[in-house]
Chain A
């Protein structure tokens, strides 16, 4: 998906630059500066560009814009859940969702602190238990998680 989106973006940029340059080149031709009949009634004379572009340049511009829109939408990141239960469910079910990326960003269940209660941590009890576990051989497999 990322590769397709990048490809679409690149194509869109190429087509857009091609269309814009073609329009510039076309505007330099003397035959292009014929005033169109329609522009007299719609635009005041000072605003009339007095240049008619061929249809394919216009179509190419519009096509490139459409390609760029599609490419930008497809290349965006995954949407994050906005429903509380979906967000909470992801935290509980997926370990990857629990990683702390920076201080204050990411992290697991914010209410886990109510069950771990670091302000009341029983360091002597937990320390003895941990050292007992280490002395007893610790985790032989070294895999899996709590």
Chain B
């Protein structure tokens, strides 16, 4: 099975999804028209073409077709999955719900989908895939508060589900409750402590919350944000997002440290205590390291060197803009 079918087309970039959806009809017809699938039952046992790649491909093509709007092919893929795994399989129920959500034309049909989810959950409340789809449907129609309530029940029942905590953090962030978002991201990191991208995400959210604070609390939040980005760089060599965040937080921290008075009142955490604020020398060194590394990544990434082609154009451009903006400020 060719490799492109093995990655799910759920990233922000629509191009992989488009190419997958274009190949979907040929894949489904090739699977259906193979001569051995039309043999009677006993003989098909001997000529088995079953493989994990086959069903992963079916699922990824299904997702790509839903995304691009090719509903007939999506339904063919779904039928093949149902034929193999059964209608009441947890994951297949979620895929069926996904299909119905995608093909719903108006809010009335979406309400029908919601009723179907409730029906499934009434019979068996432990189907987490359907619970997640229900929360996602509530969010997509705009009922954020109900989605948050649903997700809170979900994480209460399953506190090690990092995906649910991450979605809850995103929901809180979209509603502007930064403190709760920080709490949820910390829970994600409890479950997956080596997730360098979640350390960077937490750094970003804490930085956002620092913008709204003042005085000693702001200093503490900026220091925390800087430490999160440092941790993400410890976990991943040459992490562009981590170095970008480190550059931004150290820049802001230097400005606030230079304009600050000593001994500002802060709220102290009764459980964990306080870390000492970082010294100006340390912050300056980190700033210099971050700038140098960003410059190197931008240079090598834009040159397209072997082993440095994994950065996206948008990321590289943003890093370049950050460096250029600060060099302009120095020149002025």
Contact = CB atoms under 8 A, between A and B. Distances in A.
Contacts of B132: 119-120
A120 B53 contact: no
A146 B69 CA distance: 21
Contacts of B63: 118, 121
Contact of B309 (A94, A120, A129, A146): A94
B129 interface: yes
Contacts of B310: 91-95, 97-98
A129 to B, nearest CB: 8
Contact of A89 (B68, B135, B239): B239
A113 B132 CA distance: 15
A122 B166 contact: no
Contacts of A46: none
Per DSSP, are chain B's interface residues mostly helix, strand or loop, or mixed? helix
Interface string B56-75: 10000001001111000000
A138 interface: yes
B18 to A, nearest CB: 7
Contacts of B224: none
Interface stretch (A22-30, A58-66, A99-107): A99-107
A25 B133 CA distance: 78
Interface in A108-135: 109, 111-127, 129-131, 133-134
Per DSSP, are chain A's interface residues mostly helix, strand or loop, or mixed? helix
B313 A144 contact: yes
B94 A119 contact: yes
Q: How large is the interface on A (under 10, 10 to 19, 20 to 34, 35 or more residues)?
A: 35 or more
Given A88-B237, A115-B197, A117-B166, A122 B140 contact: yes
B116 interface: no
B139 A122 contact: yes
A33 to B, nearest CB: 61
Contacts, number: 153
B167 A117 contact: yes
A116 B309 CA distance: 21
Contact of B166 (A92, A115, A123, A130): A115
Interface stretch (B7-15, B27-35, B118-126, B271-279): B7-15
A130 B129 CA distance: 24
Contacts of B170: 117
Nearest to A115: B197
A127 B66 contact: yes
A146 B135 contact: no
Given A121-B63, A146-B13, 10 more contacts: A93-B307, A98-B310, A100-B6, A102-B52, A111-B194, A120-B132, A124-B104, A125-B140, A134-B14, A146-B11
18 contacts: A84-B235, A88-B239, A89-B239, A92-B311, A94-B307, A100-B7, A111-B198, A114-B188, A115-B198, A117-B167, A117-B170, A118-B63, A123-B98, A123-B101, A127-B68, A127-B102, A130-B17, A139-B15
- Kindly list the 9 A-B residue pairs having the minimum CB-CB distance in the complex, ordered from nearest: A89-B237, A146-B13, A88-B236, A111-B195, A103-B52, A100-B6, A120-B136, A119-B132, A95-B310
